[in-house]
Each structure stands twice: as structure tokens, then as C-alpha cells.
Amino acid sequence: MIWIVLSIVLLIVLVCMAMTAITLPGIWTMAACSALLALWVPEYVGWWTVGALFGIAALSELVDFIASALGVKRMGGSRSGAIGSVIGTLVGAILGTFIIPIPIFGSVVGGVAGAGIGAFLAEKSIAQRSMRDSFRSGSGAAVGRLISMVIKLMLAGAASAVFVTMVIYNGF
């Protein structure tokens, strides 16, 4: 039975890492799957593991919010720029997946570029800022998004390591 559970966990981890890379809620999905597995096979997936994964997921959202907001704000951006950055990240990550068909790389590049473009467009059109100020805000959003994505991928890796390690530890 351990091999079946371990195979399922490895599949979940791979899918959720890919989800995180394209700015989807991969860590949250991993945590939810761990809770379902804890209900199904509690001898392999304990509630401490589930709690740890939900804690990592919450930390990743906090980091994401802070890094993105600081990127826009540090360069003098407005609330519109921050919102434009979030929308641009999602659109850019999806488009980047198709435009640059290299797994994960296209999504990351698209997300970072989308954050910058989204913040720039929001600053220019909604906040009525100058071209220079809009560009600065867009640059800050792109850098903030890149830092955020790298940290979230690292946290997804940590969550994956906790999940797999605990299943192996409890199974053997």
C-alpha cells in the first residue's frame, strides 16, 4: 500500500509544483490533497504534515503579497498599479506558457513580464501617471513578481519535501 500512496504523493507534488510555477495555487492544492490523504490513509499522512503544509501555503501567500506590493510601492506605484500587476501576472503566465513552450520557463517569464506590463498599463491609463512614472512602477512590479515567484517555488519545494519525507517516514 505504501507504494501506491507514495506514487500518488509524487504525482501530486509534481502537478502542484507546476501549478505554483504558473502562478496557480499549487501549494494550497498540495495541502488540500494532503488533508484528503490523511482522511484516507492516516497511517501514512498525519495531521501534523497537513498542518505544516497549510502553514507553508499561508506563508507563501504572505510572501507573495508583500513582495508584489513592495515592488510596486518601492517604485512609487499606486493601488491601481498593484492590481494591474496581479492581473498582468495571471494573463502573462498563461500566455507565456504558449508563447515560450519550455515547461515552467515560459510561465515564469510571462508572469514577470505580465506583472510589469499590467502595472504599467494600469498606472498610465487608470492612475493617469506619466510615462516615466508608469514605467518605474511596471519595473518594480516585474522585479517584485520575480522575487515572489522564486520564493514561492522554494516554498513549494519545501512543502513537497515535507510531504514526501513524511510519507516515506511513516510508511517505512
73-95, pLDDT tens digit by residue? Answer: 788 888 888 889 889 988 998 89
Q: How far is CA 109 from CA 21, 106, 150, in A?
A: 10, 5, 12
How do the residues of the chain divide into helix, strand and coil, expressed in percent and rounded to 5?
85, 0, 15
Residue corresponding to grid cell 508563447: 99
Per-residue confidence (pLDDT) for residue 54, from 0 to 100: 98
Q: What are phi and psi of 157, to 5 degrees?
A: -65, -40
Residue corresponding to grid cell 494573463: 91
The helix or strand, by DSSP H or E, that contains position 19, with its residue range, turns out to be helix 2-21
Instruction: Determine, yes or no, domain membership for 55.
Output: no
Tell me which residue range forms the domain holding 165: 2-49+60-171
Instruction: Determine, yes or no, domain membership for 134.
Output: yes
The Cα 52–Cα 75 span in angstroms is 35
Instruction: Determine, yes or no, domain membership for 25.
Output: yes
Say how far residue 139 (Cα) sits from the centre of its chain.
19
Residue 20 is placed in which grid cell?
A: 505554483
Mean pLDDT, rounded, for 127-138: 90
Residue 93 is placed in which grid cell?
A: 503566465
Provide the number of structural domains found in the chain.
Answer: 1
Per-residue confidence (pLDDT) for residue 114, from 0 to 100: 92
DSSP secondary structure code for residue 104 in this structure: T
pTM exceeds 0.85, yes or no: no
Q: How far is CA 83 from CA 112, 148, 162, in A?
A: 14, 15, 33
13-54, pLDDT tens digit by residue? Answer: 999 998 998 778 999 999 999 999 999 999 999 999 999 999
Residue corresponding to grid cell 502553514: 55
Q: Is the pLDDT of residue 103 over 90?
A: no
Instruction: Determine, yes or no, domain membership for 29.
Output: yes
Q: Is the pLDDT of residue 8 over 90?
A: yes
Instruction: Determine, yes or no, domain membership for 130.
Output: yes
Contact 99, 43 (CB under 8 A): no
